Copies of this chain bind each other. A is one copy, B any other.
Amino acid sequence: MRAILAVLILYCVGVAYASEQGHPLNLMPLPSSVQPGTGQLVIDTSFSVGVSGPGDSRLGRTLELFLGDLRRQTGMLPLDMKVTDPAQASLAIHIDHPTKDVQEPGEDESYSLEVSPAGGKLDAATALGAMRGLQTFLQLVQATSEGFAVPAVTIHDQPRFPWRGLMIDVGRHFIPVDVLKRNLDGMAALKLNVFHWHLSENQGFRVESRHFPKLHEMGSDGLYYTQDQVRDLIAHAHDRGIRVVPEFDMPGHSTAWFVGYPELASAPGPYQIERKWGVFDPAMDPTEERTYKFLDKFIGEMATLFPDKYFHIGGDEVNGKQWDANPKIQAFMRAHGLKNNQDLQAYFNQRVQKLVSKHAKTMLGWDEILRPDLPNDIVVQSWRGQSSLAQASKQGYRGLLSFGYYLDLMWSASRHYAVDPMSDAAADLSPDEKQRILGGEACMWTEYVSPENIDSRIWPRMAAIAERLWSAQNVTDVNSMYERMEATSKWLERYGLTHNSNYNVMLRRIAGSDNIMPLRTLADVLEPMKDYAREETASVEPTSLTPLNRLVDAVRPESTRARQFADAVNSLLMPGNVEPDQRKILRSHLSIWQGNQTSFPSLDNQPLLLREAGPLSQSLSQVAWVGLQALDYLDRDERAPDAWKTEQLAILQHAGEQKAQLLLMIVPSVQKLVEAAAGATSK
Chain A residues engaging chain B, CB cutoff 8 angstroms: 20-23, 45, 72-80, 142-147, 173-174, 221, 223, 450, 452, 486-487, 490, 493-494, 496, 501, 505-506, 508-514, 544-549, 553, 601, 603-611
Contacts and interface: CB of A to CB of B under 8 A. Distances in A.
A510 B547 CA distance: 39
A218 to B, nearest CB: 14
B143 A608 contact: yes
Nearest to A146: B608
A512 B505 CA distance: 26
A146 B574 CA distance: 49
12 contacts: A21-B512, A22-B601, A23-B513, A72-B452, A74-B547, A75-B450, A75-B553, A78-B174, A144-B512, A145-B604, A145-B608, A146-B608
Copies of this chain assembled into the complex: 2
Nearest to A554: B75
B147 A609 contact: yes
B608 A511 contact: no
A547 B75 contact: yes
B147 A608 contact: yes
Contact of A143 (B20, B493, B509): B509
Given A22-B601, A78-B223, A505-B494, A512 B142 contact: yes
B143 A512 contact: yes
B77 A450 contact: yes
Contacts of A142: 512
A579 to B, nearest CB: 20
B452 A545 contact: no
A22 B79 contact: no
A72 to B, nearest CB: 8
A78 B221 contact: yes
A145 B76 contact: no
Contacts of A608: 143-147
Contacts of A452: 72, 75
Contacts of A605: 20-21, 144-145
Nearest first, the 9 A-B pairs at minimum CB distance are A75-B549, A143-B512, A143-B607, A145-B605, A76-B547, A147-B608, A490-B514, A75-B547, A79-B545
A143 B609 contact: yes
A72 B450 CA distance: 11
Nearest to A610: B143
Contacts of A511: 143
A337 to B, nearest CB: 45
A79 B549 CA distance: 14
Contact of A549 (B76, B173, B546, B601): B76
A430 to B, nearest CB: 45
A581 to B, nearest CB: 16
A637 B546 CA distance: 62
A22 B547 contact: no
Given A45-B545, A143-B609, A147-B608, 19 more contacts: A21-B605, A22-B601, A22-B603, A45-B547, A74-B509, A75-B506, A75-B609, A77-B544, A77-B546, A78-B223, A143-B513, A143-B607, A143-B608, A144-B607, A144-B608, A146-B608, A487-B514, A490-B514, A493-B505
Nearest to A510: B143
Nearest to A72: B452
A47 to B, nearest CB: 11
A314 to B, nearest CB: 24
A173 B23 contact: no
A75 B553 CA distance: 10
Given A605-B20, A608-B146, A80 B545 contact: yes
Contacts of A553: 75
Nearest to A603: B22
Contacts of A493: 501, 505
A306 B589 CA distance: 59
